[in-house]
Amino acid sequence: MFTAPKGTYDLLPPASEEFLAVRAALVAPARLAGYGYIETPIFEDTALFARGVGESTDVVSKEMYTFDDKGGRSLTLRPEGTAGVMRAVLEHHLYAGPLPVKLWAAGPNFRYERPQAGRFRHFTQVDIEAIGLDDPTLDAEVVALADGGFRAAGLSGFRLLLTSLGDATCRPAYRKLLQEYLRDVDLDEDTRRRVELNPLRVLDDKRPQVQAQLTEAPLMAEHLCADCAAHYDVVRERLAGLGVRWAEAPRLVRGLDYYTRTTFEFVHDGLGAQSAIGGGGRYDGLSTLLGGPDLPGVGWALGVDRVLLARRAEGVPAVESTRCAVFAVPLGEVATARLSAVVGALRRAGLAADMAYGGRGLKGAMKSADRSGATYAVVLGERDLAAGVAQVKDLRTGEQQAVDLDSLVTTLQEMLQ
């Protein structure tokens, strides 16, 4: 027997209803704020991610699902959405219209990570990107829309961690300062290599013996240039105005290299090690990295799988699936033909209706009717057919009445109003 590949899982009813509802809730505030739907391919040129996300990140260097297609092109299943969205914005010159270009997307992403609770190799994100302006009020909008999305999805036990990662003016000098500090610290060889490649990531090292040596490390937030500091001040002022609460997180490090200035992560305390339920920030250099014009951008991605786990951790009641209104129970061929048409008509009228298939007997079919959660069961036997009626049973009370077959659909519609 085959099983789903390691690090993946099947979404099955009724939990899958919850998935759909949560995915919709997470982006609902963004849709009210003018973000339009974009769908990009699930695979892209490998070089797009190598360049956009960064060769030195774990995502690119260790976690990508990369393959050659039959035409010899190197393609990669997308490990995240931002690079593909920016590629599409550049390819279709969306920036030639009014700015910012506001887009939202939802779909699967793929990372070859070590699977554990809340960490999958195939996972679903919803994503928004606002491209074309470096207005700090837009950063605050983006952050507030994530906060609103989590609340719309039923969560309250989460925190927003916020910082600024500086820009091309102040980050290089800070990076040098941090490297100088880290070269004097007692580190293993792998970490020493990271000091030279990607020193900010060392700040994120989870090992206590490393962390103990980093307490005095210089922090980006303390070395912002005047423009970045002013930008960050306005972001915080706007967030306060929007009623969004945050904690300063000067050691926040993200797993993708494109971030500049405002950077954030939402963490949930009920999730254990994989506590990030969403994250994002500004990426003012991404467009030029991909060969486009100087287009700033800001956005986020929220992890749908983790939001589902967080809802469970908070005890948010499960989403109810659409309840069946009418369940039809035909007894015999002629009745099956008749009720199949009735069920079709009910569905066209917008009612949830189902019927017993497979020529099942009355007892088994009534069991299915009960299980369906239907309000009414409609039973049609040979004697009913001869009399031109159907038996409509109220499954809540057990009461039963004969209803004229010719007006069955309209009568049921009236009964369900």
**Site residues for ligand HAM per CB under 6 A:** 80-82, 111, 113, 119-120, 123, 125, 127, 129, 255-256, 276-281, 283, 299-301, 303, 305-306
In 300-416, which residue ranges form alpha helices assigned H by DSSP?
Answer: 304-314, 333-348, 362-372, 382-387, 408-415
Select 128 or 366, whichever has its Cβ closest to ligand HAM: 128
Residues 6+ apart with CB under 8 A from 131: 85, 86, 89, 94, 95, 99, 100, 101, 102, 103, 287, 295, 296, 297, 299
Q: In this structure, what DSSP letter does residue 98 have? A: S
169/191 Cα distance (integer angstroms): 26
Enumerate the β-bridge partners of residue 355: 328
How near is the Cβ of 305 to ligand HAM at its closest, in Å? Answer: 5
Does residue 347 contact residue 353 with C-beta atoms inside 8 Å? Answer: yes
Closest distance of CB 319 from ligand HAM, Å: 20
**Closer by beta carbon to ligand HAM, 236 or else 254:** 254
Element (H, E) at 116: none
Pick between residue 232 and residue 327 the one whose CB is nearest to ligand HAM. 232
What minimum distance in Å lies between the beta carbon of 108 and ligand HAM?
10
Q: What angle do CA 302, 305, 311 make, to 5 degrees?
A: 90
Dihedral sign for Cα atoms in the order 39, 42, 48, 51 = positive
Quote the least distance from Cβ 172 to ligand HAM, whole Å. Answer: 22
Please give the residue whose beta carbon sits closest to ligand HAM in the complex: 303
| Residue whose CB is less far from ligand HAM, 132 or 255 | 255
Distance between CA 331 and CA 385 in Å, rounded? 10
CB of 143 to ligand HAM, least distance (A): 11
Return the number of the residue (282 or 393) whose C-beta is nearest ligand HAM: 282
Q: Which residue, 300 or 327, has its beta carbon nearer to ligand HAM?
A: 300
Residues 326, 329, 334, 340: is their CA dihedral positive or negative? Answer: positive
Closest CB to ligand HAM among residues 35, 300 = 300
What sign has the CA pseudo-torsion 114, 120, 304, 155?
negative
Looking at the Cβ atoms of 258 and 327, the one nearer to ligand HAM is: 258
Q: At what angle are helices 15-32 and 136-152 packed, to 10 degrees?
A: 150
Strands, DSSP E only, in 56-121?
65-68, 74-77, 101-110
C-beta of 161: minimal distance to ligand HAM in Å? 11
Distance in Å, CB of 331 to ligand HAM, minimum: 49
Minimal distance, residue 300 CB to ligand HAM, in Å: 5
SS3 state at 257: coil
